[in-house]
Every structure is written in structure tokens, then in C-alpha cells.
Homo-oligomer: A and B are copies of this chain.
């Protein structure tokens, strides 16, 4: 790290009641390279002040409005250098674009925007801004996910033949959005979430992970995106068949009505010589089953791991890190890139992945609604 002191961060959203806001705060500050200095945490003034107080933000830098915040911080000598976007989806574009145009770097929660058109527009803004844009596909921050990616890239498995990504959750098994659950509320509201419910919330993580680890891009898909809980306005279950460029097959199974499931993201990549499995429930492990040899289990923090995986652990093997630390790896890489003045942030997902994610959601939803079978991803993206 340079001696310049921590990167200064402002946050939009994340006030009391938010799930992901506190995660961004803890993750950003965990390694001492970023410090939260300003925020527009909530439109409710009391909640806004409460968040600022709890997180050590000066009262006069708790802004009632993100536009005001960006404008003010952009001209302070000690103003924020980057913005964390942790609002519901429908605000992602405007917050991100406003910050970038004001010369601030942006770390956005996923998905990048409300829809594909916005994502493409945002890509243009990023390109013209000279600033870094990162997307917190948090699972790419886990050490063993990065190890998995390296194993595939090195060719250890041979050519990739099949990828299965599963993401079962059960917390929307009942229509809790009607009982005032805040998290469920905006996620099942098309105005705030876009056309994708489950597929936009978690299906897109599975999609991203499949491409991140597998190193191949989805070319065509055939989706069953549907709503199981009566009356819900967006999908809560999606099952998608995939064909990747190069011919590999794939399946994405994502659901928020898989009652009893917690947050069981899992990916399996099969090549010619073996297959690897990473499961979020055992996130410190990576299993490789070989065609002709004993299975291997690799453990986070071990000295035999690849450099990218080792760099993603703070503690010796056997001392588990978790979700916040995976998030923090993304922030740390981002801070390093800012600190070093680099034009890209390495493994941190960027706007190109944001665009692909939105394309996946829109393509799968549209195809499923039309009752079509196989459809192609937008040509420009394959």
C-alpha cells in the first residue's frame, strides 16, 4: 500500500434495515485501506443520522440526497474518492453515472442496473469517465473460487465440457413481501428490481460465477423462469439450460422458493480430465474429482494454492474467513487499483460483466415468457 492513507468512501443507501449496506461498510474498511467518510444512507433524516453516527461519519457529511452528496464531496479537498452504491436496482444507474461523471470511482452492488439498456448506457459512461467501476459479485471474492478459476485457466481439467451452477434459497417461500418485509418488498417489485426477481437477484450470481470460473461465455439458453408463490409480481424460481461458446453444456438452477435452503450457491465445472466443485456452504474447500486419480480437496489459506487464491486469504489455513472477507477482497483489489492508478481492477467484476448479467436476465425472462425454447444471447455480447 502506498503511504497516501486510506481511500475515502461515500455510500448511497445502506441505512438501518439494509442487509447489504453494513456488509459493504465492514468489507470496505476491513483491511484499513478504505475509510467511510460520507453517506446518503437513507432518505429518512433520522435513519440517515443514525447510520452516520454508528459508522463514525461526521454529521455534516450525512447527506439527505446522493446528488447533493456527490456534488459536495467532489469539491472537498478531503472529499470522497469513491462511491458505494447499495440502493435497490432502479437507482443503480443514476447513482453510478452521477458519481462517475463527478470523477468518483464506483463500487456498485449487483445487478449493474435496472435493465440491459441502462447497463449498456452505463458502460458508455464508465468508458468516458476514466474512473474505475466495480460490481460486487461477492462470490468471485472467495479464495477457493479464485483457485477454481485458476485451475480451469491452467487447463488442469482439459477443455470444459459442462458447468452446473445451483443457487437455492428458500426465504421467499411465503409471500412475505405482503407482510412488510423490506428485503422481499423491493426484490419483488418490478419498479425497483426490473424484469427479473429471483433471476436478477441470485440467478445472475450463478451466471456470473459460471463464466468467471469456467472461462467460457454463454451463447444460447433455454429458460424456465416462473413465479411459484401466487400473486408475486416477479419470478421466484428459474431453471435455465445453457450452451457456451465452444460447445460446453450448462445448467443454472436458482430459486427463492426452495424451502429450507439457506444460501447454497454451488458450482461444478467438468472438463475432460476431471471436475471441480465449490459450494458456498463449504466455501473454504475446493474439491477436484479426477477421472483417474484420487479426489483432492484444497483448503483456503494453504501454501500450495495459486497466487490469486493466496492473496485472497488473510489468515492461516484452518482459520475460516467468510462472506464479509470475500466482499473485502473485492474492495481491497479495488483500492489497490485506485492507489496504483491502474486502469482496471484485475479480478474485480466490471461493467462488461454487468452488461452480460443484464443480458442474461432479459434474455431468459423474455424467452421464458414467450414459451420459446432456445434463444441466443444478444449478438454483441457473445
Contacts and interface: CB of A to CB of B under 8 A. Distances in A.
Interface of A: 1, 3, 5-6, 19, 22-23, 25-26, 29-32, 35, 53-56, 157-158, 161-162, 164, 166, 168-171, 173-174, 222, 224, 226, 228, 237, 239, 241, 243, 249, 251, 253, 255, 257-264, 268, 270-275, 280-283, 287-299, 301-304, 314-325, 371-374
What copy number does this chain have within its complex? 4
A230 to B, nearest CB: 10
Contact of A295 (B299, B320, B371): B299
Q: Which 5 A-B pairs have the closest CB atoms?
A: A373-B373, A263-B318, A260-B289, A262-B318, A322-B322
Contact of A19 (B258, B273, B316): B316
B297 A297 contact: yes
B270 A314 contact: no
Contacts of A249: 224, 226, 228, 237, 239
A138 B159 CA distance: 34
Contact of A294 (B173, B270, B271, B302): B302
Contacts of A294: 288, 296-299, 302, 304
Contact of A271 (B23, B171, B259, B281): B259
A177 to B, nearest CB: 16
A323 B323 contact: no
Contacts of A255: 162, 270
A257 B322 contact: no
A288 B260 contact: yes
B239 A56 contact: no
Contacts of A303: 292
A371 to B, nearest CB: 7
Contacts of A173: 272-273, 291
Given A222-B241, A290-B260, A372-B373, A320 B283 contact: yes
Interface centre among A25, A30, A318 (most CB of B within 10 A): A318
A214 to B, nearest CB: 14
B263 A5 contact: no
Interface centre among A56, A161, A314, A373 (most CB of B within 10 A): A373
Contact of A222 (B270, B304, B323, B373): B373
B23 A315 contact: yes
Contacts of A293: 304
A46 to B, nearest CB: 13
B258 A317 contact: no
B318 A321 contact: no
A54 B32 contact: yes
30 contacts: A3-B53, A6-B56, A19-B316, A25-B32, A29-B29, A161-B237, A162-B237, A168-B268, A168-B275, A170-B289, A174-B291, A222-B224, A224-B243, A224-B249, A237-B249, A255-B270, A259-B271, A260-B288, A260-B289, A261-B275, A288-B294, A292-B303, A294-B297, A296-B297, A297-B297, A319-B322, A319-B323, A320-B323, A324-B324, A373-B373
